[in-house]
Structures are given as C-alpha cells and as structure tokens.
Structure 1
Amino acid sequence: MTGRWWERRWFFAAAMLLAALPLLWPAVPPLTDLPGHIGRYRVMLGDEAALLDRYYAFEWRLVGNLGVDLLVAALARLMGLEPAVKLVVIAIPVLTTGALLWLSRELTGRVSPWALFALPLAYGYPFQFGFVNYCFGMALALGGWAFWLRLGRLNRIGVRAAVFVPFGLVVWTCHAMGWAMLGLFVFAGEWAVRAKDRKILRAAFDAAIASLPLAPPVLAMLAWQGGGAPADTGRFFDLVAKLKGLGSVLRDRWIWLDLPALLVIVMAIYAGIRGQAGRFAPQAAAAAGLTVLAFLLLPFTLLGSAYADLRLLPFAFAVALAGLTPREGAPVRIIALGGLAFFIVRTLGTTVSFAFYDVDWRRELAALDALPRDARVFALVGDGCDQPWAHSRRTHLPAFATARRGAFANDQWRMEGAPLLRVTLPLGYFGHDPSQISVVQACPHDPNLLPRERALAAFPRDAFTHVWLIEAPTSPRALRGLTPVWKQDGSALYAIDRAASRLPAGPPPQ
C-alpha cells in the first residue's frame, strides 16, 4: 500500500492499536450490559456447575446471537473467564477500525481522509451499552462488505459466491442483525452499480440475485424462531426515542464532549450531501441511505432485543464517511490531520471515561469479598426514571456475584425464542432482569419497575440469603430483618435474618 500517510499499512496498524487504548486499563470493559453476559458465561463454562446448576439451566442452541459466547467458551479455558472476555471485547473496536479503513479504500479507490472521522464510531453507543455480539457482528459485516467489493473489483465472482455462503452463516451466528446489515450493504452496493444503466426495479432485482450467496441463514432463522415462543417486538415509529437515539450516537460520559463530536460528524456528512466536502461513492450513499431507512422503519424492540433501531445509526454515519471522497482541489492533508485529531481526542476522552467507570466498579464490587460462595442474592441497583447523560453502568453489576462467587443473582435476562440460559428457581418477577433495577417512585413509562421499598417488602425472603443494595439507599423500616455485612457510601450488603424477618429457614425453592 502506497500513498499518503493515512493510506499506509503502518497507519492501519497504528489506528487499530489506538482503538484498543480505552480498554487496556479497566479490569473488565465497563460496558453497561457486559457483566450480565459475564454471569451467563460462567454458567456456560460449567466450572461452577455444583453450585450454579441448582439455579440456572444452560443449553446450547443455534441462534443468531453467539459471537462472543463462542469465542469466550474457547478462550476462557486457556486464560480464565474475565481475561478472555476482555481480549474478545478489545478485538471489537480494533476490528471495526480496521474494517472502516479497508472499506473506505474499496469504496473510493484509496483511503479517504474523511474516513478518519468515522473511526470514533467504533465506540458508539451500541458498544458503550455492551451490545457485544451485535458490535462484533457489525465489525464482521463492515469487513465482509469490503472483501465483497474487493473480489468484485478483481472480477472473482465465483470465488466470492463460494466464500460468502459460509461467511454469511458465520456472521449470522455472531449476530442476526450483523448478517442482515451485511446483506443490506451488499444489496445496496450492487444496486447502486446497476442503477447507472438499468431501470430501478430491474437493478434491484439483479442486485438481489447477486446477493444470494448471503441467503442461507434464512433457513437458520426459520429454525431459530421455530424453537420457542415468539419474542417481543414493539414500539414502532417512536419518534421521541429515535430523536434521543440520534443525539446518543457518541454518548459516553460528558455531554459537552459527546454532542459537539456528533455535530462534527453530522456537519461533515451534510457538507458531503451538499457537495461542499466532496462526493459520496454511489455504493456508500445507497448503503447509508438504506440504513437510515431501516432505522426509521424498525421498532425499538425487535425479537426481544431493545434499541434495535438505534443501533443502526452509528454505522450509517460510518459508512457514509468511509465513502466520502474529497472534492477536487480540497486540502486533503488538512482534512486528514483534522480527522486524526478528532480520532485521538475522542479516544483519549473515552480512555479517561472508562478509567473513571473502572474505579466505580471496583469500589462497588468490593462487596463480593463479604459474600459467601453459593449465596442467593437479591440485588437492587439504584436508578432513575430519567437517566442522566453519564449513566452509572451499574445495572448488571450483580452478575459478578454469579461470575466470581458462584452465587445466584436476579439480573439475568429472560429471552423468549433464544433461551440459552434460564432461571430454574420459581421466583417470578424477582428472579430476572429488570427486578434488580431500583427506582424510588414508579416510572410512568415503565410500569415493570417496582419502587425500591415495595420491592424490598415483596421479594420472597425465604428464597434468598442476601440483599445487595448498589447506590440504592432506603429507609431503616425497609431494612428490618436484614443484618449488614458490608457498607460503603450509598451501597451495602445484608444477610437476611430469617428469625428477625419471621420467615422459616430452608433450602431455595425447587
């Protein structure tokens, strides 16, 4: 690879290494949902089966949501659970960064300096939220599309078809939405090329035929949905949520840093639409446009997965910037330096933010030192109906009780249609997410969340041994029958005193 500095191999390598920086210091990547996944991985590995099999059942099934699970299952036996998770999660933004640079080269003929502005999107809100299987699938989708374009440019159509039949199955196994987006990208690119000399419908038909090597996972999806009850789908055309999602594309900790960064990206794309920044490669314009259309049409919850529509926006922006070629005579080196500065500032900001989250997590997880193995923990994590911009990311910290102490905790998701893990204790609402989310008063938009004192009064104390309050202070009256074993600031761990609670001792319900 020759050319300007941002097109050279050493820059590819340096950019990918820089993308790993925010995740190097934290003991565990501080992503909101990740602890919940780690708890599931502990059950999956079976190394605590003597304790956890009394509370959970895990069954491998072929579902389109297994990317990180499979990698952790392979690596954890070599290096331990949490190091394996950290390694795999670091790989996601690294691969996304490399895929975007490669995709820009294939879309524009050489790496566009505008593509550097897309690199911080590897740490967009879907990743910050901990949608790790989805983000891994999207990294493969971006790289896969780049490879599709390269084989097409080399006129290796037969080889491409042979390669992408199994590759599509791999991406689907990582995450079904990643596979769907790979199909959308490929279809959009093929349609954009054919639409130059054919009618729109004819071009669409021919593009669909060209994309058929990616079709086999449809059969796997039919088997997946046939294996259980249909998962929840709803909240179509929730415009308020979509507008909030637009503002949250780069949401992390500091609104004064995140919103101006988003404005830079939006202004660059707007300037490209007006022709002031350059022109979009037809394939990139079509792919970004169809992704935005999918964002508008998809519901908030799709097949049990929340934020289904909002997950798409960072990648619509990323594809658009990767395919934006500077106009003739534009100061490309200045654009590249601006993109590099933007990438570095965002990366350093994320690094500092993650270090702060890591300190907070370590402070809260000190409670586990006072928790006996094989406990049954009813956890309440303080939250509010209206979340601040810098969300605490403590929602699934109780899962570390499962991962590190072989304990039951009430924070695992109940996923219809893809139940790899299910809670076998008959605890009803109090056995799974969102029973661990604690609010002071009922939230009008989410009636499933019980107010804190009501939850403490209603949960079945005979089924649990401990109560873990994470930044969830409450009145002394609500704590009757609980003996403190650890306290720190607004958090505390209590043992349930059955005599004081006037509840019979006994084994957990079977």
Structure 2
Amino acid sequence: MTTTVASPPRAWWEGRPYALLLIALSVVPLLWPPIPPLTDLLGHMGRYRVQLDIDSSPYLAQYFGFKWAILANLGVDLLVQALAPLIGLEPAVKLVVLAIPPITVAGLIGIVRETHGRVPATAAFALPLAWGYPYQFGFVNFALSMGLAMCAFALWLRLGRLGWRRLRMGLFVPIGIAIWFAHVFGWGVLGLLVFSAELVAYRRSGDGLIIAAIRAGLACWPLWPPILLMVAWRGQAAGTTGDWFYWRVKLGYLLSVLRERWRDWDIVGALLLHVLFVVAVVERRFRVDPVLALAAAVMAITFAVLPRILLGSAYADMRLAPTVVMCAVLAFNPSGFSHRGQAAWAIGATLFFLARVGTSTAALALYSAGWQAQEPALDHIARGSRVLALASMPCSREWHTARTEHLSSLATVRRDAFVNDQWVMPGAQLLTVHYDKGGRYTRDPSQIVRPTRRCRSRAESLLEPAVQSFPRDAFDYVWLIDVAPAKRPVDYPELIPLWFGERSGALYRVDHSVSGTPRSD
C-alpha cells in the first residue's frame, strides 16, 4: 500500500483568485474618464478620425492625407479600425486603451508562474509599472505591444515546459509578426526575453557560454520573419536617431517609471522599487530566478545603450525603463522566508499595488476633469473649419502638466476640423498634412506655447508672438487651451470672443473682414 503525501496548500498570494483580483483592479484607474487622459492619446485619436472618415468626410481630405503602409507602429490603429464602425471611435479607443494594463498584468503573472513555479509574495510591487510613465505619456501602440509581448513570453515558457516545442515554433511566427505590427519595441523586447530564457536553458544543459548563446539565438528563429518587414519599413522612413548616453537623463527616467501627477509620491514609489531590488540582492532568503535575472541585465544594458531618439521615435530609452525595473523586481522571490515572513511581504506588496491604483484613479479623474472643463469650446466650432490651437504648457522640467498638448485634436475627432497639432513623420505615421496656407502653424508642436523663451524648443512659441504672427486668412478660430484669463489676447479686433472657460481657456472666431496685422515671431 502506497501513501500519498499531499502537497502543501498554496498561499493566498499564489492562488488564482488573488491573480484575477490584481488583473481586475488594474482596470480601475481608467473606468471613470470618458476618454483616457493620457498625454498624446488625443493626437492619436485625431489621426484615427482621419483614417476612418477621410473618404466619406467632405472636409478632412482638404487638409490631410492618409495611406496604409507597412509600419511597425499600428497596434491600436488597427484595433480601432475594426471596432470603431461597430461602437464608435471614442468607445473603441477607451476599450482598447483600458485593456492594456490588465493584458500586461496578466502577462507578468503568467511569466512569474512559469519562472518561479508560483507567484512570489513580492510580485505585486512590480505590477503598477503596467500603467507607468510610457503609458501615461500616451504611447499606446508601444504599451499594447509590450503587454502582448509579456503574454507571449509567458506562453513561450509554458509551451517549453510542457515540451510542446513544435507547436511553439508554429505559433510564434504569426505571434511575432502581430507584435511587430503593434509596435517594433514589443517585438524587440520579446526577442530579448526569449533569448534570455533559451540561453539559461542551454547553459543548464551543459553548453558553454558561447555555444549556448549561439543556440539560444537560433532558437529564436520564429521571431525572425519581421526582419524582412523591417527592411520594407525602413526603406520608406526618414526618422533620425540621436541623443546618446545622456546618463543624467537616464537616471531621471529610472526615477520617473511611475510618473503620473504627484512628484514626491511618484518618486517615493520608484525609490521603493529600487530599494526592494537592492534588499533582494543582499538578503540571502530571496531566491533569484536566472531567466528573469538575465532578462533584467539584458534590458538594463539595452536601456543604457539606447539613444533618446530611435528611428524618429522620441523617448526610446525612457520607454524601456519600467521594463528594466519590472524584470529586476520580479526576478526575486522571498521563498527563503518563513510563511509568516512571506505573508508580510505579500501584504506590503498588495498595499503598495492598492495605493498606486487609488492614487492613479484620483490622478486620472483630475486630468479628465481638466479636459472636460475645456471641451465646451467645441460647441462653438463649425464642422470642417480650421482651428489654430495654442496650448499653454509649463517648462518641460515640470513634473505635473495638464496633459492638454493634444486636447485640440478633439476638434478633429468631433468636428472634422483641421487643427495644427498632428505629428508628421514619414515612416512613423500614416497621416500627412497638406495645408501649406497655415505656414509653420500646421503641425505639432506649433500648438504648444511655453512661458519663457529659455524653456521652449525651436518649433514652439510664446503665446503673444504666436497670436501676433499666425496667418489670419488660414484659420477660422483660435483656441487657447489652459491659458489663464490674465494672458488672454487684447487689442485684436479681428479676434471675436466666443467662449471663455471659468478658470482658463478661450475660443475666438477670426473675423476675416477685419484686417489683422500679424508680425514675425
């Protein structure tokens, strides 16, 4: 007669209900705002309106062009193209953007289950990074591709553990292509994660480092096909690469991984994650997973060598910073502690996660309220008109902004209007602007005005010179966003006030029968 020894029950932080709760809570911050208040998102939404309606709108084709092409930056664009005809543009955008944090959290939980064999008690510390600074910035295609990459890596590990390698090879050819189309960054990160896992596996099997590295690279072959797409993509692109090795800026990015609204709170949260990593390194009761440890090292090296601008995309290195921290925190498991000690870690991690969910919910609600206070100006804008937007922004060193850089794109979304806030970059965007009459006030960042000359870029302006110099015959309205009443323009008879916000913002109609006197900026 054989005796079966029952395995110890899973701790509460290792069970499926806890994992599902974390996934569900990651949705909470964006449930309230009608439009996710992410910095660049409304600019993307203006582009979505053009791609959806340029053939049917009597106005959009006058100002914009749009042509589908092979592009490694289309994740949300393609999903919106499919969903918007069914549920509308704004609900489609909210649904897709709302899904990104839970997709990412689910992927991370799947990864630690496969690497550690269970969910570590400290795992929840890393999960708020799923909606960290790159997501808050509105890099939605990037964020979607990263979430999909995490889920794909968890699947890669699981299929390998089950011995289903042929199935894995077949599945990951289309998976790699799909993630590449979502955003090239996610595809690249997935490749680095898979390489790390395979390198560890071959080293465990007894291969030397060089042989293991070669075999690991060859094992990644299902992810190779997008290299051919890269050749076609870069053949039509004109993006630049530059700003290398700005170490002070990179350190700032590591402190900004949770950047949202309240500087001290966000930095304390980031420092807590860095301190947790140091504690895990020196405290012997933490067990380290070699796959995630190697992945963290590879991500850190990649972050160090990445420039700020890569193939025309700004903040390339900043985007990777949360992934570095994420992998570093998840690599460690406090399994050497007693059950009570692990429970204490789990409670602390859960409280941190809940605190970030709570403050994120409050921050995004406040951003949304600020947006909604400016939206009544849209009621006074005629469909298909031409709008000069001037959004007042603090100097870029400021932690908190109103995130109104692209609020003016709502005029394109809801009124089919031309607005001077769209990005134009061959090979990085499918949208083009062909409204030369507007002069330099036709594209991003001409809509941004700064408080001083010292903190503006060359393409930005100051409010008063912009009001003086813009071509009157090229625009029907001037929309001042987040501009205080004391700074509203006066002594311009051709600017007819239509709407004033209670605290900031104003809309003027340009009276073309009155001769303005624009001067050079």
Residue in 1 aligned with 2:228?
A: 219
8 A Cα contact 2:450 2:456, kept in partner:
no
Q: Structure 1: which amino acid aligns with 2:59? A: L
State whether structure 2 residue 99 is matched by structure 1 residue 97: no
Residue in 2 aligned with 1:349?
A: 359
Q: Identify if the C-alpha distance between structure 1 residues 323 and 215 changes in structure 2 by more than 3 Å, giving closer, same or farther.
A: same
Shift of 1:477: 5.0
Within the candidate set 175, 190, 200, 2:209 is matched to 200
Q: Structure 2: which amino acid aligns with 1:257? A: W
Q: Identify if the C-alpha distance between structure 1 residues 9 and 292 changes in structure 2 by more than 3 Å, giving closer, same or farther.
A: same
8 A Cα contact 2:255 2:271, kept in partner:
no
Within the candidate set 502, 508, 513, 1:494 is matched to 508
Shift of 1:277: 5.6
Q: Structure 2: which amino acid aligns with 1:500? A: V
Alignment partners' CA distance in 2, 1:475 and 1:370: 18
Shift of 1:493: 0.4
Provide the secondary structure at the position in 2 that maps to 1:177. Answer: helix
8 A Cα contact 2:296 2:327, kept in partner:
yes
Q: Structure 2: which amino acid aligns with 1:239? A: W
Shift of 1:155: 1.5
Report the identity percentage: 43
State whether structure 2 residue 403 is matched by structure 1 residue 380: no
Q: Normalization by structure 1: what TM-score?
A: 0.95
Within the candidate set 158, 174, 181, 1:150 is matched to 158
Within the candidate set 261, 267, 287, 1:279 is matched to 287
Q: Structure 2: which amino acid aligns with 1:336? A: A
State whether structure 2 residue 445 is matched by structure 1 residue 434: yes
Residue in 2 aligned with 1:46?
A: 53
Residue in 2 aligned with 1:483?
A: 496
- The more displaced of 431-440 and 44-53 is 44-53
Residue in 1 aligned with 2:129?
A: 121
* 1:120-176 superposed Cα distances (whole Å, 9 cap, x missing partner): 111100011010000000001111111111111112111111111110000001000
Within the candidate set 476, 481, 485, 1:465 is matched to 476
Q: How do 1:151-170 and structure 2 match up within 5 A?
A: 151-170=159-178
Q: Structure 2: which amino acid aligns with 1:209? A: L
8 A Cα contact 1:276 1:327, kept in partner:
no
Unaligned runs of at least 5 residues, structure 1:
505-510
Shift of 1:264: 1.6
State whether structure 2 residue 342 is matched by structure 1 residue 332: yes
Residue in 2 aligned with 1:58?
A: 66
- The more displaced of 432-441 and 24-33 is 432-441
Provide the secondary structure at the position in 2 that maps to 1:68. Answer: helix
Alignment partners' CA distance in 2, 1:356 and 1:277: 42
State whether structure 2 residue 256 is matched by structure 1 residue 243: no
Within the candidate set 357, 360, 364, 2:370 is matched to 360
Unaligned runs of at least 5 residues, structure 2:
1-6
Q: Structure 1: which amino acid aligns with 2:47? A: R
Shift of 1:502: 4.4
Shift of 1:387: 3.9
Provide the secondary structure at the position in 2 that maps to 1:182. Answer: helix
* 1:434-476 superposed Cα distances (whole Å, 9 cap, x missing partner): 0000113223572222222222222222111110011235364
Shift of 1:398: 0.6
Residue in 1 aligned with 2:25?
A: 18
Alignment partners' CA distance in 2, 1:299 and 1:396: 25
Residue in 2 aligned with 1:456?
A: 467
Residue in 2 aligned with 1:507?
A: none
8 A Cα contact 1:485 1:493, kept in partner:
yes
Residue in 1 aligned with 2:35?
A: 28
Alignment partners' CA distance in 2, 1:35 and 1:445: 22
Shift of 1:478: 7.1
Shift of 1:416: 2.3
Residue in 2 aligned with 1:422?
A: 432
Q: Identify if the C-alpha distance between structure 1 residues 434 and 478 changes in structure 2 by more than 3 Å, giving closer, same or farther.
A: farther
Alignment partners' CA distance in 1, 2:170 and 2:348: 41
Provide the secondary structure at the position in 2 that maps to 1:440. Answer: coil
8 A Cα contact 2:450 2:463, kept in partner:
yes
Alignment partners' CA distance in 1, 2:98 and 2:253: 24
- The more displaced of 380-389 and 248-257 is 380-389
Q: Structure 2: which amino acid aligns with 1:369? A: D
Compute the RMSD of aligned alpha carbons: 1.8
Q: Identify if the C-alpha distance between structure 1 residues 499 and 188 changes in structure 2 by more than 3 Å, giving closer, same or farther.
A: same
8 A Cα contact 1:284 1:320, kept in partner:
yes
Residue in 2 aligned with 1:140?
A: 148
Q: Structure 2: which amino acid aligns with 1:376? A: R
In the alignment of these two chains, the number of paired residues is 503
8 A Cα contact 2:286 2:334, kept in partner:
yes
8 A Cα contact 1:273 1:279, kept in partner:
no
Alignment partners' CA distance in 1, 2:325 and 2:287: 15
